[in-house]
Each structure stands twice: as structure tokens, then as C-alpha cells.
Structure 1
Amino acid sequence: MAQIFRPGADTLARVVLAGIAVVPVLAVGMATTLWRSPYVTAQDVTREQPVPFSHEHHVGGLGIDCRYCHTSVEKAAFAGIPPTETCMSCHSQIWTNAPMLAPVRTSLAEGRPLVWRRVHALPDYVYFNHSVHVAKGVGCSTCHGAVQTMNLMRQVAPLTMGWCLDCHRNPGPNLRPREAVFDMTWTPPADQAEQSARLAAYHVKSPARLSECSICHR
């Protein structure tokens, strides 16, 4: 009697059937891993800028307050990028001929703003308001990390939807007194759990609404 299938046909069929079941699962797993990786989220990525501005020097060393450069952080959705005139308010007096500051001097002379690359960039379909978070007691370092130690600015948080929702569902641990919002060296006190519960009750009037889609997607 003639043999219809080759000896390895049964094994091949089993492998193909197993592949049909396993490959989609692996594909979904790989896609999820890629989506959460720094390749997509840009977490811990240092971007090249027109001037190598050091937060470590200006914030950690000189103690310049966040609001000196990010002037709209308390009253607008966008924290603001300092114009060249802000930089030159100091550098017209100090480091006046530093080679690394040549783009700043050129910018002022030509009346052409510096083009900074955004480090914390959210998708267009995400609504985020800095002033609201500041008013509620969310400190700068909560989202931006220890900026005062960064020679070059980088994104320390993943800024994913899940990361935002974790805070929206339980904001208490990330709240601090309003006078400490811009304190980059602030550390939670021993009774942070008690204080955070009090701050959440005072600042967050409708906690259940923080997980509604319309809060971030408008």
C-alpha cells in the first residue's frame, strides 16, 4: 500500500498547530513589552539640545527656583520654556564669552528663539495641565525626578496611561503641602500616610472622577 504522507508529516502538523496557538500570544507579549520600553516611552532618554543646559548647576548648585524659567507653571497648562532674554539676564554679566553659550548670544542678537527639544512630550490626544497639579500639591520631583542632580535633562517617568492612572486612583502618596511643591529636596515625613490622606481630602474634591476618560482625553 502506497504511503500518502511522509514519515515526518505528523510531527510537522503538530508543530504547525502549536505555532498557530503560540505565535499570536508571543506577538502580543512582544508588542506589549515594546510599547512599555524606553524605545517608545523615551524614559531615561537624554535629548540633544541647542545648548547643554545643566539643571544640576542651575537648580542644585545655584538654587534657582523652577518658576524663574518655567514662568507659567502655576497658571497655565504648559509650564513654559524660558525665552533667550531670561538666559541673558544672567549671562550678559557672567560667562559672557563662553563658547557653549554662543547659540544664546546669537539668538538674542538675531531675535530668533532657541529651538529646544521637548523632553516630556505627551501625545496630542492627552490633556495635561501643570497648574492643576501644582495647585493640588503634586511636587515637581514627583513627575520629573531629582532634576537638581541632572546634568542634562531626561524623562525619568514612563508617562504611560497606566502610570498616570496609578496616581489618579490613589493620589494621596504623591501629595505634599503646597509650600513644598517646588522644593526639589523635599522628602516625605514619617507620618506621610496620615498627611497624604488629609491633603487628598482637602485638595481632591471628587476623587472618583479622576479615573474618568474625559479628565485626560477631551
Structure 2
Amino acid sequence: PTQTCMNCHTQIHKESVKLAPVRESYATGLPVMWKKVHDLPDYSYFNHAAHVNRGVSCVSCHGRIDRMPVVYQHEKLSMGWCLECHRNPDQFVRDPSTVTDLGWVFEGDKNEERQYHEYWVELHQINPSQDCSTCHR
């Protein structure tokens, strides 16, 4: 549903002409006729809000979509790929207020960056589940 799109696109590129069909669909409730780019199996469950609210940036999964002339699937989105992050979340989380800033980069040395990410993991008590039922429903 376009509600998922609008969770981000009320903030990012909210005036983009390319997103007019998404805004119209959201307003009318009618589906958008499009080719799905990020296609997960039907048995997979993914909650965008759970990730964004904990500081996982759009870029981690979608890449720099602001630089893509045509959006494409940047990561493989396989179970193994997801588990990499679930097993080592400190490499991927940051201040949730920066998750939609696609050009954000940490300013500091590697040790400071590691401490920064570890801080967010501790602050938000991030301990992603690795149980099959978390994603397979």
C-alpha cells in the first residue's frame, strides 16, 4: 500500500513530480500501477517503522535512490543479507533523526565512528531478533 511509501515521502522528495501518482493513490485509496522494485517473498514480513525508528537509514537497504535516474534494487534483500545486520547492528544504526538524510556520513575517525554506532545500539537497546518467526510469517 502507498501508506508505506508515504511514511518516507512526506519528508523526502515530497514535491517530486515523479511521486504524484503515489500521492494521488494515497489520497484516493486507489492502487498505483507500477512495477515493484523491492520484491520480498509473500511469506516475509518487514516492518519499515521498526527499522527507521531505531536508526537504520533508507540508504542501508535502498542505496542512494536520490541519485538513481530509475530506482533499482540496490541490495539483494536475502535472508543472509538481513541476518548480517541483525547479527551486527552497530555497523548500521545511527541517530534516527538522520535516517532520511541520504548523504549523511559520520565525521570523525574510525574509532569515534565505532563508538558512535555502539552508543546508538546501547541507547535504543537494539538487539534484533534472529528467530525465524520474526520475518517468516
Band of TM-score, shorter chain: 0.7 to 0.9
Distance, in Å, in 2 between the alignment partners of 1:171 and 1:118 is 27
Q: TM-score w.r.t. structure 1 length?
A: 0.49
Distance, in Å, in 1 between the alignment partners of 2:129 and 2:107 is 25
Q: 2:42 aligns with which of 119, 124, 127?
A: 124
Larger radius of gyration: 1
Alignment-derived partner of residue 5 in structure 2: none
Alignment-derived partner of residue 60 in structure 2: 142
Alignment-derived partner of residue 180 in structure 1: 98
| Alpha-carbon spacing, 1:164–1:113, altered in 2? closer, same or farther (3 Å) | closer
Alignment-derived partner of residue 41 in structure 1: none
Distance, in Å, in 2 between the alignment partners of 1:136 and 1:67 is 22
What RMSD in Å do the two structures reach over aligned CA positions?
A: 2.6
Give the residue type in structure 2 aligned to 1:198. Answer: Y
Identity of aligned residues (%): 37
Give the residue type in structure 2 aligned to 1:194. Answer: Q
Question: Do the aligned residues in 2 keep the contact of 1:119 with 1:155 (CA within 8 Å)?
Answer: yes
Alignment-derived partner of residue 22 in structure 2: 82
Give the residue type in structure 2 aligned to 1:143. Answer: C
Query: CA offset at residue 118 of structure 1?
Result: 1.2
Alignment-derived partner of residue 132 in structure 2: 213
Q: TM-score w.r.t. structure 2 length?
A: 0.76
Superposed structure 1 runs of 4+ greater than 4 Å apart:
none
Report how many residues are paired. 119
Structure 1 runs not aligned, ≥5 long = 1-63, 70-80, 87-107
Alignment-derived partner of residue 18 in structure 2: none
| Alpha-carbon spacing, 1:112–1:216, altered in 2? closer, same or farther (3 Å) | closer
Question: Do the aligned residues in 1 keep the contact of 2:94 with 2:120 (CA within 8 Å)?
Answer: yes
| Alpha-carbon spacing, 1:211–1:112, altered in 2? closer, same or farther (3 Å) | closer
| Alpha-carbon spacing, 1:85–1:112, altered in 2? closer, same or farther (3 Å) | closer
